[in-house]
Structure 1
Amino acid sequence: MTMPKESLKTYLKDHLLIGDGAMATWLYQLGIPIGVCYEELNLSNPELIRAVHRSYYEAGARFIQTNTYGAHRDALARHGLQDKVTRINRVAVQVAREAVKDDAYVVGGIGSINAGRVRDVRMQNYREQFEEQAAALLMGGVDAILLETFLDLDELLLALDVIRPLTDVPIVAQLATIEVGRTRDGHTLTRAFAELKKAGADVVGLNCRLGPAEILRSIENAVVPEDTPLSVFPNAGRLAMSDGQYSYASVPQYFGENALRFRAQGARLIGGCCGTTPEHIRVMAQVLAEREPLPRVNPVVDTQEEAEPLIRIAPPTRKQGIVETVAHRHTVIVELDPPRDLDTEKFLRGTAALQDAGADAITLADNSLATTRMSNMALGSIMKAKFGAEPLLHIACRDRNLIGQQSHLMGLHALGINQVLVVTGDPARFGDLPGASSVFDVSSFDLIRMIKQLNEGYSFSGKPLKQRANFVVGAAFNPHVRQFDAALRRLEKKVEAGADFIMTQPLYDRESIERIYEGTRHLDIPIFIGIMPLTSSRNAEFLHNEVPGIRLSDEARTRMRRYEPGEEARREGVAIARELVDIAMEYFKGIYLITPFFYYEMTVELTRYIRDRSRVVLQK
């Protein structure tokens, strides 16, 4: 087959065109391990990349993608190659051209920068990266640009907005969908294809994520704009792992059968994505040889459904709990650690006592100090049902991947628990199971933003939900650092991410409380000042000498030294805490009491003190 010299856009009007298959899959099968920067091989091993291109060409592909899917600055930076964007992309074009000469279209591949990660609300930062990569590919002389594997229509439209003004060469715009018929950011394919056409795409289509059957279902139910060629590059089925090796289920013959089905749907450009090999492409090329394209017959769609908003969910409810309460009066959160064993009796007694004392919420840590404790989700549900107490659960980034985090939050929503505090979490190696993995899929900033995304009616993946969550999200603030201004900037980022309130680490002097007041008075969310009563002189000396940033006054340490460990020492600790409460209440309406060593009688007394003092203030 010899390619004519006409443009890709013109050729597709009257011809079927066979695309190539997966670059990474074939390199993996040739022995290149996962984790290697495949795009860098354009420089270090061009013979190998040239051979892959040639194998797809010999199989019948005449649409050859450059080995540049991840050759943008963000991805290359993970391998220390961010300064080689232009060179890698230009050489990739040269290598592909050498492999197929002028007998195939050489197309510059540009992948999503988000690439399946958490949806990034700051996608405008991607503009320069798209422009840098596209300019290098165009300089190299590509026949077209392929934008592929975009989960979010918003990001693909952004890429088109950047690249379309740079060139007149055809642009193929391909989405990747997690579910059949809808993008991750909630758009139907009908609407997405129309928007892509309007933004300047010459070809629209789908690639990756789904296999032939689900890609076929997707395009059967989508309207493709008139006079717009359709492209399909499915995966070879679902990914599997056996004996440490990755594999895909779909055999070449199955791809050949589906190539005919894609043709019947009006597809003009047909290739393969993850899991496909030269043999998959060979069978498709043989099946489609000498066949002419068929016209696209769009399905009849409910135009009213397409015109209605994409997300049909209940409106958000107003913020509840402590954020609402603290706007009107002094509000008390009390921390009570879940037990380390299976006995819940003492915990429930403490909960009942704090509820009776007037605590507005009881907050439960999430395996604090990386020490295994009973699930705060289970205890929160029990205390809410048994006593009507309002739980405020910590959620650490450490222990759950994104699947687990969303599942956990969906469970909290089902239980009616909507107040949470997002914390990073102490590394597992410092806890009682040092061999455990620390997950840290996301930072506390990301998790705050993603929880607020649930409130907007979107899952972490961007899939529209039938309901909105109603989480009130807190963030932690540690003022015990050398660079207080840097800590404030970090706190401001949490507020920007969507934090509704702040809880501080425990404080032990007026100066620190006043410093936080001055540093946070511009923030329009409540601050809960942490106060943890001292239990003994040894406890006071430990905090003063071994915990970074905490400094007790000489007076407080002297007062604690007067007593042997026991009830009298704890009584003095409560007296000191009351004085700190008095100071905090001058500046803040939120008080966060931390129960030390499960001496809940101490925080019960302090809760009652705050309640009584608050009533006096209100009467005045």
Structure 2
Amino acid sequence: MDLTTKKDLREYLQDHLLVGDGAMATQLYRSGVPVGVSFEELCLTNPRLVHDVHKAYYEAGARLMETNTFGANRDALARYGLEHKVTRINRVAVTIAREAAQDDAYVVGSIGSILAGRVRKKVLDEYRDQFEEQAIALLHAGVDGLILETFLDLEELLLAIDVIRPLTGLPLICQLATLDVGRTRDGYTLTEAFSHLQKAGADIIGLNCRLGPAEILRSFESARVPDGALLSAFPNAGRLGLSDGEYAYKSSPEYFAESALRLREQGVRLLGGCCGTTPDHVRAMAEALKGLAPQARVNPPDELTERPSVSSFSVRDRQKPSIVERVKTGTTIIVEFDPPKDLDTEGFLTGCCELHKAGADAITLADNSLANVRMSNMALGAIMKSQYGIDPLVHIACRDRNLIGQQSHLMGLHALGIDQVLVVTGDPSRFGDLPGASSVFDVTSFDLIRMVKQLNEGISFSGRPLKQKAQFIVGAAFNPNVRHIEAAIKRLEKKVEAGADFIMTQPVYDAESIRLVHEATKHIGIPVFIGIMPLTSSRNAEFLHNEVPGIKLSDEARERMKRVQGEAARQEGLKMAKELLDVAITYFNGIYLITPFNYYAMSVELIQYVRQQSHLLKAAAKA
């Protein structure tokens, strides 16, 4: 291949195949660079090592070299205290690649996703300046084009193109990374994604990373590509797995060569490697493709393209009205009743039945509240629903499960017909009864609310289409017992924006707080269940006030509890709770009763009181 008088990359690919390089990080790691350092900083601290990796790929047959700048953006470099070196690293990286690659190879500036696989927590528009900063540095250093790669979300890649396209007329190679065949993490089919990329100004579109050759091949086989599009593919060397006690990629160079030929049959013209690939993989591809011309892309027939839109998937019919539907027509009562701390369920289920008979619309089960181990609320909820016809409302804490576990848990709830959930952050593990346990917190409550509602659209957390839509009714927690209620309301508004269907508050202990919550939340547009928890003793009151996050008692409440003891204290707690309920039912249709110490008889009495008082209020209104 003679590129000594190089054509524009787009022009060259019209009539030629081109072999790109392989993984930079894999080679640096094999050279002894430890995980946990900035590979991009090596352009400054050990340029010879980076040069040697480029040289090895060039000698193996690569004629498109990517700069060692995949993570050389401000966000990624800030993790190493290097955010002030963005421009310098990117410019030096281009110089190193040029020196290693000679004149008959293209050098393209690598720009990676800033999200980098993380769950979106920022407004993507905030990344504009970072994409511009990195692109300008690479362009000024003299690249032949830019490669935007490993973008899990189409929307982030479109943002990057929108920023960079006006800066240059050089070729833009734009590559998505998918977690599964055929769909981006943010829910677009590849057919849709490729069309959007071409319209946005991408010159070469394709896939890289995450998947190995076979799955990337399947992705191209099932997608429709816009007419005239130039395609690229940089697969991983298979999936990362444990072999002989070490993590490694499995695909051999010979297999990579065979796969390159199959990708060529799909119309791919630019072929390289991503994670796990080596100069041996590139050499095998270059030898297999030597002397071959590109093949025209032939799209699959319509019936072989991606699965139908999730909008056509079936939805289960709900057997009973949800609490959100009930609260629109009258007073609705949710009662919290904690799962047991041991293996005996008899007392718990007896309590549930009594609460249900008294008129509770739903019984809500905490998810290891205060980080203390309790029986699975999923298991108990399934028993309540299937054996006793009681509607459970289960809490889901961000603390205990990673994203894999969270989606699996929610899929299990869906299978059991448990569709009412409350998403909470969860108390830190170190404060519970297993202080050595790890707190996961893969996502915030805002993120998890949004992701649960994504299941309702028939899309998994990873962006894969599901054969059914979930129908979760998602609640969010609100703590009004704070010094600055305005900040708490803004946080609540974010939960509503994320998709919350109803709100459950922490318990309040004075009438003024009830009125304050009503005034502060009446604009949000979704039902609010005001929290009421009867006190059982002075010690209980002082514990809640001084030790439990999110609960604050009035001075009057604490003083009243100090005057009584024993059974008289419980009766005083019930009396105070009824006084609060008298106020609450004039402002809220949603009442959230929290059962103290599993004294379900106290909650039964309060349920009956709410029903009685609500009936009297309706009668008075009619009169």
Q: In structure 1, what is the equivalent of residue 486 of structure 2? A: 485
CA distance in 2, matches of 1:580, 1:164: 61
How do 1:95-494 and structure 2 match up within 5 A? 95-118=96-119, 122-242=123-243, 245-289=246-290, 291-302=291-302, 309=309, 311-314=311-314, 320-494=321-495
Contact map agreement 2:429 2:435 (CA 8 A) in 1? yes
Q: Structure 1 residues 405, 553: CA separation in 2 closer, same or farther (over 3 Å shift)?
A: closer
What secondary structure, in the 3-state scheme, does the structure 1 residue paired with 2:312 have? coil
Contact map agreement 1:316 1:455 (CA 8 A) in 2? no
How do 1:573-584 and structure 2 match up within 5 A? 573-584=573-584
- Shift of residue 79 of structure 1? 2.8
CA distance in 2, matches of 1:326, 1:82: 51
Contact map agreement 1:230 1:269 (CA 8 A) in 2? yes
CA distance in 1, matches of 2:282, 2:77: 29
User: Residue 193 of structure 1 aligns to which amino acid in structure 2?
Assistant: F
Mean Cα deviation higher: 416-425 or 320-329: 320-329
CA distance in 1, matches of 2:563, 2:254: 86
Q: Structure 1 residues 175, 550: CA separation in 2 closer, same or farther (over 3 Å shift)?
A: closer
Q: Structure 1 residues 560, 204: CA separation in 2 closer, same or farther (over 3 Å shift)?
A: closer
Contact map agreement 1:266 1:293 (CA 8 A) in 2? no
- Shift of residue 114 of structure 1? 2.7
- Shift of residue 40 of structure 1? 2.1
Contact map agreement 2:182 2:306 (CA 8 A) in 1? no
- Shift of residue 415 of structure 1? 1.1
Tell me the matched-pair count.
618
What secondary structure, in the 3-state scheme, does the structure 2 residue paired with 1:470 have? coil
- Shift of residue 303 of structure 1? 7.4
CA distance in 1, matches of 2:423, 2:240: 33
What secondary structure, in the 3-state scheme, does the structure 2 residue paired with 1:449 have? helix
What RMSD in Å do the two structures reach over aligned CA positions? 2.3
- Shift of residue 271 of structure 1? 0.9
Mean Cα deviation higher: 15-24 or 567-576: 567-576
Contact map agreement 1:111 1:148 (CA 8 A) in 2? yes
CA distance in 1, matches of 2:552, 2:214: 65
Deviations 1:376-406, CA, capped at 9 Å, x for gaps:
0011111112222111110000111111101
Q: Structure 1 residues 510, 268: CA separation in 2 closer, same or farther (over 3 Å shift)?
A: same
Mean Cα deviation higher: 499-508 or 581-590: 581-590
User: Residue 295 of structure 1 aligns to which amino acid in structure 2?
Assistant: Q
CA distance in 1, matches of 2:619, 2:289: 86
CA distance in 2, matches of 1:592, 1:221: 50
What secondary structure, in the 3-state scheme, does the structure 2 residue paired with 1:13 have? helix
What secondary structure, in the 3-state scheme, does the structure 2 residue paired with 1:12 have? helix
CA distance in 1, matches of 2:549, 2:308: 56
- Shift of residue 617 of structure 1? 1.0
Deviations 1:517-537, CA, capped at 9 Å, x for gaps:
222222111221111111112
Q: In structure 2, what is the equivalent of residue 12 of structure 1? A: 13
CA distance in 2, matches of 1:69, 1:275: 16
What secondary structure, in the 3-state scheme, does the structure 2 residue paired with 1:39 have? coil
Q: Structure 1 residues 378, 50: CA separation in 2 closer, same or farther (over 3 Å shift)?
A: same
What secondary structure, in the 3-state scheme, does the structure 1 residue paired with 2:441 have? coil
Q: In structure 2, what is the equivalent of residue 571 of structure 1? A: 571
Report percent identity of matched pairs. 67
CA distance in 2, matches of 1:80, 1:18: 35
Q: Structure 1 residues 339, 61: CA separation in 2 closer, same or farther (over 3 Å shift)?
A: same
Contact map agreement 1:481 1:548 (CA 8 A) in 2? no
What secondary structure, in the 3-state scheme, does the structure 2 residue paired with 1:591 have? strand
Q: In structure 1, what is the equivalent of residue 534 of structure 2? A: 533
Mean Cα deviation higher: 476-485 or 246-255: 476-485
Mean Cα deviation higher: 443-452 or 510-519: 510-519
- Shift of residue 309 of structure 1? 4.6
**TM-score, length-normalised on structure 2?**
0.94
Structure 2 unpaired stretches of 5+: none
Contact map agreement 1:265 1:294 (CA 8 A) in 2? no
- Shift of residue 306 of structure 1? 7.7
Q: Structure 1 residues 540, 466: CA separation in 2 closer, same or farther (over 3 Å shift)?
A: same
Deviations 1:241-276, CA, capped at 9 Å, x for gaps:
346633111111222222233333332211111100
User: Residue 118 of structure 2 aligns to which amino acid in structure 1?
Assistant: R
